[in-house]
Amino acid sequence: MLEIKDLNIEFHDHSKPETVVYDFDLSMEEGDIVGIVGESGSGKTMSALALCGLLSRHDMKKTGRILFEGKELLTCSRSEMRKLQGKEISIIFQEPMTSLNPVKKIGWQVEEALRIHEKCSKEECYERAIWALREAELPEPEKVYGQYPHELSGGMRQRVMIAAAIVCRPKILVADEPTTALDVTIQSQIIRLLQKLNREQKTAVLFISHDLSLVRRLCRRVVVMQNGYIVEQGDVEEVFLHPKEEYTKRLIAAIPSCDPGKPRRPRPAGTVLSAVNVRAGYRSAQAFLKSGDDKEVLKGISFTLGKGEILGLVGESGCGKSTLAKVLVGLKKDYEGEVECTGGRGLEGQPQEGEASQGKVRMVFQDPYSSLNPSKTVGWILEEPLRLSGGFSKAERRKRAEQMLERVGLGREVAARYPRQLSGGQRQRVCIGLALMSEPDVLVADEAVSALDVTIQAQILALLARLQEEMGLAILFISHDLRVVYQLCDRVMIMRDGEIVEEGTPQEIYFHHAHPYTGQLLEAAGLSAGA
């Protein structure tokens, strides 16, 4: 049905022509389900966009052939391509928050493809839109039809995207990281939905992801890409169990494993951070002269963090993880309960009095692209904490910043660069370095590795573990990724709706969990209990 041969894609809008995809080959039959796996920059999305005709015709040079049912897509006219787009070939994107038009009703957006491609009456359009919404397993499709995107959750929006994509019953559905922005439980529901569509509608699915375990669960065949080249392709189980290429082996090795026999450190004696019955909330819809309703996000959180301990905090989005982090680092001041950080090391050689005698909590954020000031150099950013605390000469500040860069595995020359000149992994190293500049007692890492590729993720995890060891740091590691938490943390807390439902060592939580919600999370992540 679909045959891609020797596809090369070259960028021309950048400073120099740059090839992003080399000799891409892929063939798909009806009802196939194929995964493309690769890290960012591997060209996986580019190949898919080329298939959908969504790449610029001016700035990019494409050579090779894309045959869809005998028709050449690379050379056909725009109007011919348009007849296929949305009808025979549909796409769903990663970000459900931006891929729907916020000022149009859901029904209108789902019907859009019908209005363009098929002559059908209003009633017929309505019927088919409702069918598609039901097919995408949205509860109460009639109600959703009349709603606006902002009234729906992320998972529901992604279902609406799927409904809009399948309303014309396409032959191929391209899914570009459709679950990356979603929670694990929603993620596994979307995966099941794609499987069902594939089975019942015979829709071929081209699933693009960086998540190998997801691809393994969903797809029959897999294509592994690196730097624009196809490294390896074949049957999923075959590739996973007997990878031939070095890169595939590395990728698979970078998936954190949950080995029940992993040795654990004994629980440390002293406590460095403790929270007692912390409650916090937000006012929704705050407006002039009008107070909104209070929404309680943290409903009495108590926990302690030991000296040099790495504590994992796991929960889905909206459970209050980030709010807790804000309370701990002092970004959110209107909370009830007690938070005490008793570290009191301060900067070496500095007298400690007043606030300085209190322990310091610093934070590493999720998105390495927004957590560094784009208009300052890395060196300036790293020196800022020293500038604020005062008492350091210019040369001293510079020396310390350079030492920190080396400590987090970057070269001294990085100090002169701007954040935009660094890769995501390098930026996250700088963020960690910045957090450590003021020699904190506790580091709060809020989804610090979630936005990174697997191999980079593994490096950053190793860095965190090493720094913890070297500096005797306590880390609160917030994540939704159970595998990562298992690998890194000494102790795990499971959080749901502002409450901590379960707490224990990774072994206890992962293999002998007590709370049913923990079980749900583990199952959604493909880590069913006892396995």
Q: Write out the residues near other proteins by the rule CB under 8 A.
A: 12-13, 15-17, 288, 329-331, 361-363, 365-367, 370-376, 381, 384-385, 388-389, 431, 434-435, 438
Shortest distance in whole angstroms from residue 290 CB to other proteins = 12
Shortest distance in whole angstroms from residue 28 CB to other proteins = 33
Helix (H) / strand (E) containing 326: helix 321-329
Shortest distance in whole angstroms from residue 75 CB to other proteins = 20
Query: At how many degrees (to 10) do helices 122-135 and 106-117 cross?
Result: 120
Shortest distance in whole angstroms from residue 376 CB to other proteins = 7
Cβ closest to other proteins, residue 167 vs residue 449: 449
* Rounded Cα gap, residues 531 and 144, in angstroms: 39
Burial tier of 274 (Cβ tally within 10 Å: 0-12, 13-18, 19+): middle
* Rounded Cα gap, residues 398 and 404, in angstroms: 10
Cβ closest to other proteins, residue 389 vs residue 450: 389
Q: Which two tokens stand for residue 194?
A: 């794609």
Rg over CA atoms, the chain: 25
Shortest distance in whole angstroms from residue 371 CB to other proteins = 4
Burial tier of 273 (Cβ tally within 10 Å: 0-12, 13-18, 19+): buried
Cβ closest to other proteins, residue 331 vs residue 514: 331
Q: Distance from CA of residue 405 to its chain's centroid?
A: 26
Shortest distance in whole angstroms from residue 374 CB to other proteins = 6
Shortest distance in whole angstroms from residue 413 CB to other proteins = 20
Burial 256-270 (b: 16+ CB within 10 A, else e): bebeeeeeeeeeeee
Cβ closest to other proteins, residue 17 vs residue 146: 17
CA distances from 199 to 32, 195, 205 (A): 9, 6, 10
**Residue in 443, 444, 274 with CA at minimum distance from that of residue 342:** 274
Question: For residues 346 and 352, is the Cβ–Cβ distance under 8 A?
Answer: yes
Shortest distance in whole angstroms from residue 322 CB to other proteins = 11
Cβ closest to other proteins, residue 288 vs residue 349: 288
Cβ closest to other proteins, residue 131 vs residue 380: 380
Cβ closest to other proteins, residue 362 vs residue 429: 362
* Rounded Cα gap, residues 10 and 46, in angstroms: 10
Cβ closest to other proteins, residue 13 vs residue 23: 13
